[in-house]
Structure formats: C-alpha cells, structure tokens
Amino acid sequence: MIRVGLVVNPVAGLGGRVGLQGSDGEAVQQRARELGARPRAGTRARAALSELAARGADVELLAAPGVLGARWAAGAGWPHRVVPVAPSSETGSAECADSAVLRPGSPRLGVVPPARRAPGSGVGTRAPDAGHVHDAGRPGAPRTTAADTVAAVRALRDAGVRLLLFAGGDGTARDVYDALGGDTELTVLGIPTGVKMHSAVFSVNPRAAGEVAAVYGREEGGVPTRRAEVMDRDEAALRQGRVTARLYGWLPVPFVPARLQQRKTGGTVLSPDAVGGIAREVREAAQRLPGAGSRGPLLVLGPGTTTQALAAALGAEVGPTGVSALVPGGGTAEVVARNAGGDALLDLVRAGRPALVALSPVGGQGFLLGRGNQQLGPEVIRAAGGAARVLVVCTESKLAALGGRPLLVDSGDDALDAELTGYRPVITGRGALTMYRVTI
Amino acid sequence: MSDARRQGAAEPTREDARVAPKPALRRFHQARWDEKLIFELSTPGQRGIEVPAPEPEVAAAVGDVAAALPDALRRGTPPALPELGQQQVLRHYLRLSQENLGADLNVDVGQGTCTMKYSPKVNDSFVRDPRVAEAHPLQDASTVQGLLEIMYRLEGLLREVSGMDRVSLQPAAGSSAIWTNVAMIRAYFAARGEAEQRDTVITSSFSHPSNAACAKTAGYRVITLPPDADGYPDIEALRAAAGPRTAALLITNPEDTGIYNPRIEEFVRLVHEAGGLCAYDQANANGILGITRAREAGFDLCHFNLHKTFSTPHACGGPAAGACGVTEELAPYLPRPTVEFDGERYRLEHDRPDSVGSVRPFYGVVPNLVRAYAWIMSLGAEGLREAAEVAVLNNNYLLSRIREIPGVSVPYAQSRPRVEQVRYSWERLHADTGVHSEEIGLRAADFGTHYWTSHHPYTVPEPMTLEPTESYSRADLDEYAAILAEVAREAYEDPDVVRTAPHRSTVHRAREDTLESAATWAVTWRAYRRKVLGEDGA
Ligand SMILES: Cc1ncc(COP(=O)(O)O)c(C=O)c1O
C-alpha cells in the first residue's frame, strides 16, 4: 500500500467560467465571485478520487485539511487521513478543525462523512507577493493563499506520501514547485482544474489523474517517472499585451505509457530508441556544418526533456531547464555552457564555431521559441546562421499529442519568425522526419 | 435467473449480476486453460515416438551413419527443444486453439486494415490436390506446367486489376511486397546513377507503417506527411518535402482512416516532377477493385495483399502472399524468376540480370496463389467490382449503426462517406467515463469478438478501426454494433465492468508497456529466459 497525498487549491479555475484570464490574486477572485463564478476545483478533485476508488487501488490517502483536501476526499466516499498543516500567517487556516476526521482502512469499507460545517474564521488578507488567495467560493468560507498550498504540500511530503495529487492550475503547479524545489524526488500529478494550463504536469482530465494514481499505487517502483514542465503565463508581459508563458522548472510525474501516451497533453514518450536515433541525426547534422571539421561544431540545446535526453544520448549531462551548449564528439560531448543567458549565448555563438540550435516543443502548447526559452532571442538565432541552423526535434508520439495543432514561434522578431514558419522537417528518430507546420 | 443459468451455461460472473446484457446478445464464454508454455511442460527423456533400434545385422551393415555427415553440418550441442509425448503436444495445441478468436469463429470486422474476409473453403480443396500439395519446387518446369499456368494467368489478372505492365507473385506478404518495391526503386536509381542523391522516401502518417519501416530498412531517410484538417495527407507538406533527394512516395489510398484521397494524382505529379517514383500500397484495395487502378492514378509501382483483398488466409503473419505490379520501365528489376509463356510451354526465367534477386525462395507461396486465382475466377470481373461495392456498402451501413452509439465520433472529412474501413474515436466516451478504447475492445471480447485500435502513435485519440468487408451479413453487422452499443452503455452506467474486463475470455490483461521496448519484449523462449527470468547466457 502506498501513501498518496491530496492538496486542492479550492479557488483554482474560479475565473475561467466567467471569462477571466485566470484566478490568481484576490482582486480577480473577487471579480469572479461577483460575476457568479462557482468553484469547481473540489468537485474535479473528487472525480479523480472516485476514479482511483473505482480502479480498486490499494492506497492510503492523506489529505490536507478542510477545503485544502479533506472536504473533497470525504465527498468522494474515500477514507483518508488528514495531515495537519501549520496555519499560514495570512489565513490562520482554521480548517484544521476537519482534521478530527480520521478513518484509515480499506478504501472499499469506510466512508468519511462530508465536513459538517464551513468554518468561518480566518478570513485572509492578500499575500505579500500578490500570490493567489484561495477560498471555497462561498460566503463565509475561509480564504486560502499560495502559502497554504506550499505549507500543505510540505506537510504531506513530510508525512511520507509517495505520490502527491494536487488540484489546480498553472499557479498551483508553481506553488507545488516552490514547495518541493526542482530536485524533488516526490512524484506529483496535477488534477486539471485551473484556467491557465500551460504546464505539462497535469493529466488530461480529472479521471485520468485518478487512473494514473491507481496504476502508480498498484505498481509502485515499476512505474517510471518523467520530468514535466511547470509553466505559467508571464503576467507582466500579458499586461503589455503579449501572451507569454514562462518556464519555471520540472517536476517528476508518473509515466504510464500504455495508458497515457495517446493523451493530448500527457504525451511525451521518450523511448530511448527514438531519442538515441534523434541524437545521431543531430550529431551528424552538426558535423556536416561547413567548418565543423576544423573547429568542432557548437550545438545549442533549448530547454526540455527531449533535448535533455538528447544531450544524454550524446554523452553530456545537462538539466532540463535553461539553454545549454555542447561540442559533440565521438561518444561524448563537452558541455561548454549550462543555463546560459542571452549574452553568454551570443558570445558563444559568435566565437567562431559553426553552430546548430536544436529545439523541442515546450509544454502542451507546441511552442518552439518564445515560451520558456526567451534566452534564445532572435540575435542568438541570427548569429548562429538563422532559420537554416534551427533543428526541431520531437518524438512521434509527442507530435501526435499536438492533435494536429501547428508548432508555434514567437521569437520577438517578425522577420525571423517569418523565416522559421512554413513546413519544417521535425526529426523524430533515426532517419525519420515529419514535415510539420510551424506558424506564429 | 439469467438465461445462461437456465440453459446450464457457465455460472454468471460478477458483472452479470449488475449489468444484464440485452437478451439479443450472445452469452459467450471462452475456454481458459491456464496453459503453460510448451517449454515449461518439457520432461527430459519424453518422446513422441520411440523409434526401435535397428536389428544388429542392419546396424552392422550400415555402420556409423552420423559419421557420413560432414563436420560442418553437425551440431555441437543438441537443439534446445521441449521434450514431450505426442498426446501432451496434441493437448497443448488444442487448448491453445480454444483460447483463440479465429477469423472463422467470430464476426471478425474489428481487425481494421486487415480485410478479414472469408476464405472460401472450396479453394482449399484445390490446394490439397496432390498436384499442388505434393509438387516440389525443384521439379522440372515440364512437370508443373499446370501450376505455372495458374501463376501466369494470375499475373495477367492482377495486371488487369492494377493496370500495371508486369506483376511478381513472389513476395510472402504485404510488407514483403512493400520491401520488394523499395528494393526495385533503389535498383532503378542505382542504374541511373542517382542512388546517392535520392536518399529520401516520403510516406504519410495514415499509410501503413510498413511503408516507412521498409524504406528505413533499405537505408532511406523517411519523411512523414501528417494529416491535414480533413484527414488527407497534407499536400503542402508534400510540396515542402519533395525535391532532388526524393526517391519515392510510398502511400496508401484509401488510408487507414478509410478516407479516399481525391487529389492522389496531384500527389503523384508533384513527386514525378521532383524526379521520384510513386509506389501505391494497395493493401486497402478491397473497396476500389474494378473502380480505380494504380495505373490511371499515375503510379509506377503498386502491391496487393492476396491474403487480404483476394481472400487467401492471413495465416498469422505468414506465409501469406503479396503481389508487386510495375510499369514496363521498372519491369527489369522485378524479382526472379518470372513465369514466361512462349505460346506452347510455360517456363521460369532466371536470367534477369537487373533483377533485385529473390525475395522468397522459389516462386513464393504457391498454395495462396492457387487460392487467389480460384477466388478471382469464381467472381469474374463484375464479381470483383460487386465484392468491392458490397464491402463499401457494409462499411457505410456499419458506420451508420456505430454513429448511433453515444460517445463515438468519426474524425475528419465529415460529409464524406468512407471506403472500406473507418477509424473511429471514443474520445468523448473517454472524457465522459474515463474508459479507454482498449478497455472497450477488451470488454467486447466477453461477447466473443474484439477490435483493434490503431497503429501508434494514436493520431486519432482513443481510436477504433473497423473493416467489415463484403463477407458479413447485415445480421452479423447488427450483432457487432449491438455489442459495441452494449459496452458503451456499460461504460456510462457501470464503467467498472468495462475497466476490469475481460471477464469471460482467456487472457486477462497483457502488460502492454513490456512490448514497447526491445529490452523487455520476449518473443522466444530464449529471450523469455534472458529478459524475464533473468537467466544469464540463455
Ligand atoms: C495498407 C496496408 N499495407 C501493408 C500491410 C502489410 O501487410 P502484411 O501484414 O501482409 O505484411 C497492411 C496489413 O494489414 C496494410 O493494411
């Protein structure tokens, strides 16, 4: 039996139903409520738990207190244990009252009654970083903030959960990321309830999250994980009229190929065979560059798990975040830059080695440039030799998961975008290309 | 009490109590023997037949027989074969045969893209005729004139069906025929000194993956054309892909979606303009026999699957039979031998200097050639066309029945009918219920049938591919649709039943992910010992 943790951001998705761009920040939530928004995060979390129960998973469920988890677990007819969470300074989290409900045991036996009351104390104030203030969406319901999510995630981690289910959107995913850090070994999975869903840590729908959790519970140890992107819209850029998503980092999510790879957003199958083939293609392309024989080519890799695996196949270890640069050789590659910024990249590319830039679509949106990799600005691409020096790498299943949507570029330079758009060969494996549409 | 109980059938299982299938549905229960692998049944020393030792005089007269074998032909160690008595072997395979859903046992319309039409048993009687069954491939041509005549005439019939100038019957199956076509394409460009320049083959996402696989095996770089919004291969992607490096376009039409690409001539023209050849994978020809031909669409090469379109048995991946058709220009590269006729005698022509060689020992899978010939002759030209028309009618009838089922959709080209098969999607049902297409297929097995999803990757989400052919009656198709409707109803009302299926068939669940990597799949006993049991040196 493994321990699964549940944390719910009760106001995630509040804005979406009433046409707002998100639900982060108290002002937006207030406006959403005025427009008649009803929260749905809890009911979606419940759907995931029902699925978990239906699949007969042998798991012990630990929930954050009250609207942060336990209330929805109770509604799913699923026994759970409530893990106390230290009240955040802003809210006082009076919801801990629910933690009296404690019913471990077989999932099929006990049913925890729904919370009897909606505690009314602890009305929150605005989080200092304009973080998201959560509430259950009902008059008199408590408000919770990002700090509560962070505290709940840490409490569940400390209670020994092996898989953390969190219900929310991109903002919540960021909170989870903040709570755990990018190096965490704790496997997480998002139950999608938010408005903004750029991150790849979510299942396609709530039931799918329950299904994956069930498989994870059944075959713990046998289920590999992969690192999936945590992304969020760049609100500052948005206010200037640009839609831009920032890449915050990666979190480990369960990878259940036979059941998940066909999903639209779950599909990042990195079969070693495919990535090894892609790596050979990229290395050969780099070595064919004019001048590569004498100087050794420079390979600039955009962020992503595909490019990370590609680097590994070339014999170099780089993280999935940030832009790195390698000089590929026979069986190894020399890493000349990790997490390089725009200026450093420009210097590297101008230093005289013939350069290639390998990019992989980031997140579920299909962005090649301009989301999560702004360091690779138009000057860097131009210094490398322009669109002709850009290679797109992606596995077949990840491409199929785009559901026919084109790949996107938004480099910030219209002329370069124009060069990059049209039909481009995407390297999907050894000797395998797909001619795919790239648009702005 | 359920009908099943009254009739003394198997005990109702857990799900029967909760969801009573409509009475019209068959109460099926498959045998489940829990049979081990034959290697695990082995007992050292057991034999099927104990051959008596020769009499001493005989032994003395013959001497050491094994010594007569050259050293190079002798094994160092005996073969690692299971050791069993005859009865155990018979029982083992009979049990396995009961744990199967063979083509003649179920309404086999679910094996989409495979054209599971009926193989008329009368055609087997020709194959059992001693003149076929006992012919030896090394017999002199003068002693097999009848067989050669059948092959010669079959070539003529397939030339007529395809419009091509010559046809080889040697390939062992569809993929073998695609390979043969790729080999001919390679030889053609080698002869023109363009082999190095033309290193790329173009195919499409919904063409059968054997096309990409054969091209890669032959050393080609492969460019895939994704579907456009209507599901046709994206012609703009083709424009971007075709060029001086293009050796060929390998494409299916209709593709595995059952959608006929009306711009196929334009595709061919674009590739020809780039200097490439076009090969038509006609394994999906069942809906267009006698209606369109590869030649008129401008193709240089094509292939048929005789075990799909021309009724010969599939034989679980072989030996089936494929046929490659080519234009005069490519005829020199056909496999050897060819069957020739001088007006009096049939002979095998081996002297073909430009040939790609043999793709299969001797003349191919002759019994299947005999069956295909018999099938075509029994129908005649009009009969072939009628078979195609009925296949299309059946498919569109089934389509109309399946459309009535909640949760199913038919992606792409909305207003157009489908040819001989349809790739459906259960995406909506999945979103509503959490039940996957694979799970619906497994539950269908509880009613004595099944279906196939699609090739990977799943470009159509939660796919299901059905191909009813001309063989099935309206009642068969109604039964099949009723089974799917019932499973869909269960998915909405009691999804557990579907998710935990199958309940009444042999195999519970296979771990599909173990089949996704060469590191874990084990298709032989030796591989099983090494990869699954972890025995070193196995
Ligand atoms: C369109 C198409 N091409 C090729 C093949 C491969 O044929 P085979 O399975 O005989 O190798 C198939 C098999 O179903 C097919 O449907």
SS (H, E, C) B256-272: CCCCCCCCHHHHHHHHH
Q: Within 10 Å of residue A106's Cβ, how many Cβ atoms?
A: 9
Range of the domain at B43: 25-48+81-100
E strand segments, B313-448: 322-326, 338-341, 346-349, 422-425
The rounded Å distance from CA B120 to ligand 1 centre is 21
Which residue on chain B is closest to A204 by alpha carbon? B431
B76-95 burial by CB neighbour count: b if 16+ within 10 A, else e? eeeeeebebeeebeeebeee
Query: Quick one: pLDDT at residue A106?
Result: 29
Q: What is the pTM of this model?
A: 0.76
Compute the distance between CA of residue B344 and CA of residue B336 in angstroms, rounded to an integer.
21
Q: Are residues B221 and B353 in the same domain?
A: yes
User: Which one-letter amino acid corresponds to residue B438?
Assistant: E
Which residues in chain A have their CB less than 8 angstroms from residue B225's CB? 434-435
B34 with B145, same domain?
Answer: no
Residues B141, B159, single domain; the answer is yes
In a domain, B68, yes or no: no
Which of A121-125, A322-326, B234-238 is the least confident region?
Answer: A121-125
Q: Which two tokens stand for residue B499?
A: 């998710």
**Residue B317: pLDDT over 80:** no
Task: Characterize the bridge pairing of strands B200-204 and B246-252.
Answer: parallel
B379 burial level (CB within 10 Å; 0-12, 13-18, 19+): middle
Q: Residue A108 has what DSSP assignment? A: T
Q: Where does A220-326 have alpha helices with state H?
A: 235-239, 257-260, 272-288, 292-295, 305-313
On whether residue B200 sits in a domain, the answer given is: yes
Nearest to A337 by CA among A380, A368, A369, A294: A380
CA distance A171 to A156: 19
pLDDT in tens, A232-243: 776 665 556 555
pLDDT digits (tens, 9 = 90+) for A336-370: 999 888 899 999 999 989 999 999 987 667 889 87
Q: Tell me which chain A residues have a C-beta less than 8 angstroms from the C-beta of B458.
A: 261-262, 400
- The whole-angstrom distance between A257's CA and the closest CA on chain B is 6
- Asked if B389 and B366 sit in the same domain, the reply is no
Q: Is the predicted pLDDT of residue A332 greater than 90, yes or no?
A: no
- Over range B454-460, report the average pLDDT: 88
Q: Which two tokens stand for residue B471?
A: 């063989």
Ligand 1 mutation target, pool B111, B113, B181, B359, most atoms within 8 A of CB: B113
Put simply, the answer to whether B223 touches A433 (Cβ < 8 Å) is yes
One domain, residues B458 and B321? no
CB contact under 8 A, A435 and B226: yes
The single-letter code of the amino acid at B505 is S
Residue where the block lists tokens 């695996």: A309
In this predicted model, what pLDDT tens digit does every residue of A367-408 receive, in sequence order?
898 777 778 889 999 999 999 999 999 988 888 888 888 998
Q: B494's torsion region: left (phi>0), alpha (psi -120 to 50) or beta?
A: beta
Residues facing B279 on adjacent strands: B250, B301
**B299 and B428 belong to one structural domain:** no
Output the domain CATH number for residue B488. Answer: 3.90.1150.10
B223 CB neighbours in chain A (<8 A) are 425, 433-435
Q: For residue B196, give the CATH number of its domain.
A: 3.40.640.10
Residue that has been written with the tokens 């596995």 in this structure:
A395
pLDDT at B448 over 70: yes
Query: Which is the closest atom of ligand 1 to the Cα of B307?
Result: 10
Question: Is residue B38 in a domain?
Answer: yes
Is residue B494 in a domain? yes
Check whether residue B404 and residue B311 sit in a common domain.
no
B423/B205 Cα distance (integer angstroms): 13
Beta bridge partners of A231: A247
Side-chain half-sphere of B480: how many Cα atoms within 13 Å? 27
Residues B18-32 have pLDDT tens digits of 544 455 788 899 998
Give the C-alpha separation, A214 to A206, whole Å: 13
Are A425 and B241 inside 8 Å of each other by CB? Answer: yes
CA of B394 to the centre of ligand 1 (A): 21
Q: Which residues of B touch A401 (CB under 8 A)?
A: 457
Token pair in block for residue B528: 């099983």
Q: Is the pLDDT of residue B214 over 90?
A: yes
Complex ipTM, two decimals?
Answer: 0.85
In a domain, B1, yes or no: no
What residues flank ligand 1, with Cβ below 6 Å? B 113-114, 173-175, 208, 210, 252, 281, 283-284, 305, 320
H or E element at residue A209: helix A206-218
Classify residue B470: in a domain, yes or no: yes
Give the pLDDT score at A2: 85
Residue pointed to by tokens 């020393």:
B45
Out of B241, B499, B511, the one facing A435 most closely (by C-beta) is: B241
Residue A64 predicted with pLDDT over 80: yes
B227 in the same domain as B149: yes
Query: Do residues B285 and B395 share a domain?
Result: no
3-state secondary structure at position B102? coil
User: Which of B377, B409, B439 corresponds to the end of one domain?
Assistant: B377
Whether the CB-CB separation of A173 and A166 falls below 8 Å is answered with yes
Chain A residue with minimum CA distance to B204: A434
**Nearest residue of chain B to residue A269 (CA atoms):** B457
Mean of pLDDT values over B253-281: 97
| Protein residue whose Cα sits closest to atom 14 of ligand 1 | B114
Smallest Cβ–Cβ distance between A400 and the set B220, B229, B457 belongs to: B457
Domain count, chain B: 3
Mutate to test the pocket of ligand 1, among B178, B182, B207, B208 (most ligand atoms within 8 A of CB): B208
Find chain B residues with C-beta within 8 A of A397's C-beta.
456-457
Give pLDDT tens digits for A177-235.
Answer: 999 988 888 999 998 886 666 777 888 677 878 888 888 877 766 677 888 888 877 66
- Residue B532 forms part of a structural domain: no
Element spanning B149, H or E:
helix B145-162
What is the mean predicted confidence (pLDDT) over A317-341? 86
Residue of the CA atom closest to atom 8 of ligand 1: B174
* Burial environment of residue A360 by CB neighbours within 10 A (0 to 12, 13 to 18, 19 or more): buried
Q: Which candidate in A263, A435, A436 is best for mutational testing of the B interface (most B CBs within 10 A)?
A: A435
- Note the pLDDT of residue B7: 41
> Do the domain assignments include residue B120?
no
Query: Which amino acid would we find at residue B23?
Result: P
> Is B85 in the same domain as B152?
no
CA angle B131, B132, B135 (to 5 degrees): 80
Residue A7 half-sphere exposure toward CB, CA atoms < 13 A = 30
What is each CA distance from A433 to A264, A328, A425, A428, in whole angstroms?
21, 21, 6, 5
* Same domain assignment for residues B189 and B311: yes
Query: Among all chains, which residue has been given the structure tokens 């000057």?
Result: A379
Instruction: Note whether B260 and B293 are same-domain residues.
Output: yes
pLDDT at B277 over 80: yes
Q: Which of B377, B394, B413 is the last residue of a domain?
A: B377
